[in-house]
Amino acid sequence: MNRSTIDLWVGIFVAAGFAGLLFLALKVGNLATFSTDPTYQVQARFANIGGLKVRAPVKSAGVVVGRVGDVRFDNESFEAIVSMNLSAAYQFPRDTTAKILTSGLLGEQYVGLEAGGDGMMLKSGDRLRLTQSAVVLENLISQFLFKSAAEDKGAKQ
Amino acid sequence: MRMADLSARTARLRARLERLGSTVTSLVWRLGFASRFLVYMVLHSGTAFRRFRLTIAQVYFAGVLSLVIILVSGLFVGMVLALQGYDTLQRYGSSEALGVLVALSLVRELGPVVAGLLFASRAGSAITAEIGLMKATEQLSAMEMMAVDPIARVVAPRFWGGVISMPLLAALFSAMGIFGGYLVGVQLIGVDAGAFWSQMQAAVDWDNDILNGVIKSVVFGAAVSWIAVFEGYDAPPTAEGVSRATTRTVVTSSLAILALDFILTALMFTGGN
């Protein structure tokens, strides 16, 4: 095999290797989504964030509009502070509600945004006032048990 | 009588201890020589980059000729992962997470590790045998006679060829494995294609998963190439010596890959999320 044929094959090999990496980056990974878009950051306080993780999606009407950038614990109010990086392409009113929701029964948790009616739009660094915490299964079950116990009592009387 | 018995036993014990000691010292000695060899080779790899055709020829031998085995194994590993993963995931009603399982296990672990093991046995052994045979037939000494540094002319291009090939092979292995997982998961079993890809894209991160996999494969490539060229260069110039060196290359580099994988994984994935 002469030199130029070797060069050709090495060229094909290197190109294929980079194509594989590109495939991993664009098709498998989430490099294409929100890594280069300009974003603005808003914060929200939650009494309980459940299993929310950094890089979890922020969705509005089911569409991914941003990602969770940071999750911290506030030592004064004993609440969780969630910082969200929203894509600058999407603007939300200032009285937007943030909820922590679960996709499917066992799926990952995400932040759901519900737009309000305010004329002013959210700016970078703003805080969402209206929030709803994650549903904790244990609390739900204990509420249900207490309720059914109370109903039993009522029925006996 | 008892004294003689005792002295014979201490002599046997002493001989055993001496054997153990000489094994350990020769290991340390070889490690020191191998490190010195690596530093010398890296310092004298100017030729490998100035006359880049030398390195390109080695990329051809180490990389292009390993393509078939890498692609076929990647495809099968991905297909098996999809079958096994589906079997477990569907018990929990989350078979849509199949894409995440296949992609993360390939990109983070199996891609670099299995491609590294295949690379060690396919290319590493060939490099050792080639250099060892060059040494046994005194080609390396002949080069030295002609004032050509055999490390710069023969060893360094093979080392850098391996370092360049390995990440590309690992990326191709992962990509092919994900394609195999797609074939089995979506085409054969019937997992929803949209969920397969979108959950994968939501879970696989460029920095944390793909780049760390690439870093792993570069480290494995350097380790395997280093072990292969060193074993070849250090092989006793006999047929038996070369054959032993080739075996040692495969064994040592496989162990090195697995040990390095543990260290790198412990460094990379301890953040929790």
Nearest to B158 by CA among B224, B218, B215, B113: B224
B205 to chain A, closest Cα gap in Å: 5
Indicate yes or no: CB of B63 within 8 angstroms of CB of A13: yes
Q: Which residue has the tokens 């980079």?
A: A18
What is the spatial distance between Cα A31 and Cα B157, in angstroms, rounded to a whole number? 34
B90 to chain A, closest Cα gap in Å: 12
Indicate yes or no: CB of B59 within 8 angstroms of CB of A35: no
Residues of A with CB below 8 A from B175's CB? 19-21, 23-24, 28
pLDDT digits (tens, 9 = 90+) for B39-68: 999 998 888 888 888 889 999 999 899 999
What is the spatial distance between Cα A44 and Cα A58, in angstroms, rounded to a whole number? 12
Q: Could you give the ipTM of this predicted complex?
A: 0.72
pLDDT < 70 stretches in chain A: 1-3, 30-37, 105-106, 156-157
Q: Which two tokens stand for residue B38?
A: 């690596």
Instruction: Report the pLDDT value the prediction gives residue A14, as an integer from 0 to 100.
Output: 87
What is the spatial distance between Cα A2 and Cα B192, in angstroms, rounded to a whole number? 48
Closest partner residue to A28 (CB to CB) among B56, B57, B178 is B178
Nearest to B264 by CA among B220, B226, B228, B222: B220
Instruction: Report the pLDDT value the prediction gives residue A31, as an integer from 0 to 100.
Output: 60
What is the spatial distance between Cα A72 and Cα A134, in angstroms, rounded to a whole number? 16
How would DSSP label each residue in B174-185?
HHHHHHHHHIII
Strand order in the sheet with A109-114: A127-128, A39-46, A79-87, A63-74, A57-60, A109-114, A97-102, A131-132
pLDDT in tens, chain B (273 residues): 677 788 888 999 999 999 999 999 988 998 999 999 999 999 988 888 888 888 899 999 998 999 999 999 999 999 999 999 999 988 887 888 888 899 999 999 999 999 999 999 999 999 999 999 999 999 988 998 998 888 888 999 999 999 999 999 999 999 999 999 999 998 998 888 878 888 888 788 887 888 899 999 999 999 999 999 999 999 999 999 999 999 999 999 999 999 999 999 988 877 544
Instruction: Report the pLDDT value the prediction gives residue A50, as an integer from 0 to 100.
Output: 83
Kindly give, in sequence order, each residue whose CB lies less than 8 Å from that of residue A135, ignoring residues fewer than 6 positions away.
Answer: A50, A102
